[in-house]
């Protein structure tokens, strides 16, 4: 499994709301350094924060990117004892928002609709002053999760929907021009909206020539051949123990796949994928 960067560890800490001032998080092989909780009480039913990601600039400075109900907050966490916010990128209101980085850009997606919907593109050339430089909203305007293939400059948007709320599948975008993404392909190919619910992909991760796609509603883990990103196709799929497949990640050898179900009490499943 991939090790977390210091910025991502700090990011996880930033996203945890604290109780009374005297309360301290439980120590589990980590040292508590600081807490920023500027957006408490904004979300529905106190759901204030969603996903987070790390961004490490070319000069070595580190940033935590936090999804909040009304947008995305970006913090400098280079000194983890003294984080500070460098920007807030407003977005459609939603209890769910996710982000990934590519070179000196960050891409933000959400399930929320309305003003600003689509993939928000944030330029981090000057990380102390992030700039929203554009929004991609061609063929879909909402996305549950987002993945990046940095080796091939690809942005993969999972669980997408159009302005009518119809499911539009996985959308694969080229980042050859990072501020003007261009669609290369969709999965499943040739299926007009609404894409059947059993083919909905909740999350995916591209590694080498494979895309590991988790279809939560059908409880299936899928493996797509991603050799040609313009024409991905399924090479294997199977039902996971909880039949509500959340996400997956291969080990460094590519021989084992770790998969979780979004079901309370279900354990991590490990699959031998050396021969699909």
pLDDT digits (tens, 9 = 90+) for 102-135: 999 999 999 999 989 999 999 999 999 999 999 9
Residue 16 has a pLDDT of 45
Query: What are the beta bridge partners of residue 186?
Result: 171
Query: Which pair of structure tokens corresponds to residue 19?
Result: 């109780």
Question: Are the C-beta atoms of residues 188 and 199 closer than 8 Å to each other?
Answer: yes
Rg of the chain over all Cα atoms, to the nearest angstrom: 19
- Is a pLDDT exceeding 90 seen at residue 4? no
For the stretch 233-263, pLDDT in tens is 999 999 999 999 999 999 999 999 999 999 9
For the stretch 168-187, pLDDT in tens is 999 999 999 999 999 999 99
Strands 233-239 and 245-250: unpaired
Query: What are the beta bridge partners of residue 215?
Result: 220
Query: What are the beta bridge partners of residue 171?
Result: 157, 186
| Burial (0-12, 13-18, 19+ Cβ within 10 Å), 204 | buried
Residue 212 has a pLDDT of 98
Residue 42 has a pLDDT of 78
Residue 17 has a pLDDT of 45
Residue 12 has a pLDDT of 47
The pTM of the full predicted model, rounded to 2 decimals, is 0.90
Mean pLDDT of 190-211: 97
């Amino acid at each position: 499994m991939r090790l977390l960067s210091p910025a991502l560890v700090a990011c996880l800490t930033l996203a945890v709301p604290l109780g009374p001032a005297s309360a301290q998080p439980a120590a589990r092989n980590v040292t508590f350094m600081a807490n920023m909780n500027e957006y408490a009480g904004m979300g529905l039913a106190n759901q204030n924060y969603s996903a987070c990601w790390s961004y490490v600039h070319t000069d070595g400075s580190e940033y935590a990117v936090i999804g909040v109900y009304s947008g995305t907050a970006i913090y400098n966490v280079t000194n983890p004892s003294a984080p500070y916010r460098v920007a807030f990128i407003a977005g459609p209101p939603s209890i769910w928002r996710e982000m990934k980085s590519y070179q000196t850009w960050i891409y933000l997606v959400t399930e929320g609709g309305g003003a600003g919907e689509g993939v928000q593109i944030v330029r981090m050339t000057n990380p102390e002053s992030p700039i929203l430089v554009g929004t991609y909203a061609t063929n879909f305007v909402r996305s549950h999760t987002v993945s990046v293939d940095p080796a091939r400059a690809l942005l993969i948007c999972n669980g997408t929907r159009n302005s009518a709320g119809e499911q539009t599948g996985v959308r694969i975008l080229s980042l050859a021009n990072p501020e003007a993404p261009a669609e290369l392909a969709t999965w499943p190919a040739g299926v007009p909206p609404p894409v059947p619910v059993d083919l909905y992909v909740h999350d995916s991760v591209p590694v080498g020539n494979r895309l590991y796609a988790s279809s939560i509603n059908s409880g299936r883990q899928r493996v797509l051949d991603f050799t040609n990103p313009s024409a991905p196709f399924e090479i294997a799929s199977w039902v996971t123990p909880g039949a509500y497949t959340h996400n997956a990640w291969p080990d460094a050898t590519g021989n084992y796949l770790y998969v979780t179900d979004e079901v309370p009490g279900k354990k991590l499943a490990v699959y031998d994928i050396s021969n699909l």
